Amino acid sequence: MRRTIFAVFITIVFFVRPATAQDGVAWVQIEAQPSLTQAQERVRAYAGQLPDVNGFALGGGWYGIALGPYTSEDAERVLRVYRAQGEIPGDSFIAYSSSFRQQFWPIGANILAVEPQEANPVQQAAVETDAPAPEPQPEPEARPVDETPAEARRSEAELNRDERMELQMMLKWAGFYDAAIDGAFGRGTRGSMAEWQDANGFERTGILTTMQRTELKRQYDAILDGLDLKMVINETAGIEMKIPTGVVAFREYNPPFAHYEATGDINAKVLMISQPGDQNTLFGLYDIMQTLEIVPEAGPRERDGDSFLLIGEAADFISHTEARLQNGEIKGFTLVWPAGDEERRTRLLGEMQKSFNRLDGVMSPAEGADDSQSIDLVSGLEIRRPKLSRSGFFVDDRGTVVTTAQAVRGCEKITLDGDYEAEVLASDETLGIAVLRATEALAPPSVATLRQGDPRLQSEVAVSGFSYEGVLSAPTLTFGRLSDIKGLQGETQLKRLALNALPGDAGGPVFDDGGAVFGMLLPQEDGARKLPENVSFAADAAAIRTVLEQAGITPAGASADGPVAPEDLTDAARGMTVLVSCW
């Protein structure tokens, strides 16, 4: 049974007072979901365990679950205690009302404009039994004397254009301004200032005083609280920039990257990119980055002559990579941040972009080199791998491929030899055969010819396949013998083989001793029946023709010929065998 905060604990009274303009109304955002249905399901679960549960639209198709409203001080306390007790996720954070849009939970509620009320002592976060009693809270200090409208106008006149644009941007973020960010304080900007003053308990003048501008900036920056954003100078990489040092720390150099890894509950990562090179080096980095796990395939891609931008969007994280070539040096950075925390990610990214500065020097390719090597890693980062890889073979000069149905089951994307996307033309689960075609024109070095009739029993056969699922760049031949021209239960469309095949060989062509294809190797069946290691089965040429004809393809036929030399068979097999990958 899930532990709750109400049982077997001594409670402590939080002396909560209504939020003022100085305090701000604060919330503890505990979760975000990409659909309203998922968010409603999760908010009901939280509401059964915790008080003060609310649900709001966040924009961009996301929906947030938050506790509150509280004063900023109480929100920090609730966040600390609930995280310590495991009642809320470890990456929960403080949010403010400007982050939220229409309320969807509780149904019919609309409390964004309501200040937090004094809390019932029974409905307070639990602490451990040895927690000290809270000290009485002091009365709020009197608000300092502010500028007069005339004084405010004079101080405002000293702002430069960038500062005036930043003020408009902060008003837009707060939800009071929706016009152009141009630095011109016209009627729209003045009206938004007056609305912000009114909402925050200030006199409605339409001119922000120095103190009010400071308060607006404090609200704007509050979403970055806890990230400990600091300027970091990395002389080895020749880069200085702001980094969220509260959630990441330097781990290692692995050229061209300086790795900053997550230190706590927020699954974040920062890479500084630094290497010497030219345009070819930049373009090569652009291609390599897209093979990495940290750069999901979904998302915008941009590349020009001296820079590139890669945004990868996965279900649980978003990555942003940018790099630029300048004076023979490529420098940039990557930010990886959890999905659903879009406002904080966007704000953090903006601070990193504004602060990024190129210093003298570039990371040496030998920096941080060690003896650890892995073909699955590039500079310490994991390469994106397919869910499954099997073999297939070309049956015409248009790039049509026959493979096992297992290789195309449940795939978001299918590739041939890792580079060419393919689509399914036909699939027969009963026969275990699928037919694919590349989405772009291919010219295979060789094409399979399907044998008419069965080979002799006990004659030598060979299967061509990517036995190790693409670890080796070329297919291998595995030799064996034809044990029977039917399956164990008399299936005429199967051929039983005596050879030791590996999972990656499934879908590969099976050759007779004359070099003709008389079958396609099938994968080992999952189930209780365990066959000897040297027993395999192939779908015969007649079954392959049936599926091809369903797809409107007439394969080339071949009659029985004399034996071919092993080297000739190897050349023909390599030309027609292709790696089929399911992503």
Q: Which pLDDT belongs to residue 306?
A: 95
Q: Which pLDDT belongs to residue 288?
A: 86
Q: Write down the architecture of domain 388-582 according to CATH.
A: Beta Barrel (2.40)
Q: What element of type H or E holds 218?
A: helix 210-221
Quick check: 1 pLDDT over 60?
no
Quick check: 132 pLDDT over 90?
no
Phi, psi of 320 (to 5 degrees): -130, 120
- Per-residue pLDDT tens over the stretch 77-126: 888 889 888 899 988 899 888 888 888 888 778 877 554 444 333 344 43
- What is the token pair recorded at 388? 């499954």
Q: Write down the architecture of domain 149-224 according to CATH.
A: Orthogonal Bundle (1.10)
What confidence tier does 9 reach under pLDDT thresholds 50, 70, 90?
Answer: very low
Cα–Cα distance between 545 and 498 in angstroms, integer? 24
Structural fold of domain 229-381 = Protein Transport Mog1p; Chain A (3.40.1000)
- Per-residue pLDDT tens over the stretch 464-522: 999 888 777 688 888 999 998 888 888 888 889 998 888 899 999 999 888 889 999 99
**Percent of the residues in the chain that have a pLDDT greater than 70, as a whole number:** 85
Q: 564 near 515, Cβ under 8 Å?
A: yes
Task: Cite the residue boundaries of each domain of the chain with CATH code 1.10.101.
Answer: 149-224
Burial label, 11 (beta-carbon count in 10 A; 0-12, 13-18, 19+): middle
Q: 469 near 535, Cβ under 8 Å?
A: no
Q: 173 near 181, Cβ under 8 Å?
A: no
The length of the chain is 583
DSSP 407: G
Task: Cite the residue boundaries of each domain of the chain with CATH code 3.40.1000.10.
Answer: 229-381
Phi, psi of 61 (to 5 degrees): 85, 5
DSSP 225: T
Q: 360 or 136: whose pLDDT is higher?
A: 360
What confidence tier does 292 reach under pLDDT thresholds 50, 70, 90?
Answer: confident
Q: 445 near 576, Cβ under 8 Å?
A: yes
CA quadruple 173, 174, 177, 183: dihedral sign: negative
Neighbours of 185 (CB within 10 A): 18
Q: 183 near 166, Cβ under 8 Å?
A: no
Give which of 359, 318, 363, 324 is closest to 341, Cα–Cα: 318
Task: Cite the residue boundaries of each domain of the chain with CATH code 2.40.10.120.
Answer: 388-582
Q: Which pLDDT belongs to residue 90?
A: 87
- Per-residue pLDDT tens over the stretch 519-569: 999 998 765 467 777 888 999 889 998 899 888 888 877 655 667 777 888
Q: Which pLDDT belongs to residue 527?
A: 57
Q: Which pLDDT belongs to residue 561?
A: 65
The model carries a pTM of: 0.53
3-state helix vs strand vs coil in the chain, percent to 5 = 25, 30, 45
Q: How far is CA 459 from CA 29, 479, 483, 570, in A?
A: 69, 11, 8, 18
- What is the token pair recorded at 545? 């023709």
Phi, psi of 44 (to 5 degrees): -65, -40
Amino acid residing at 144: P
Q: 462 near 516, Cβ under 8 Å?
A: no
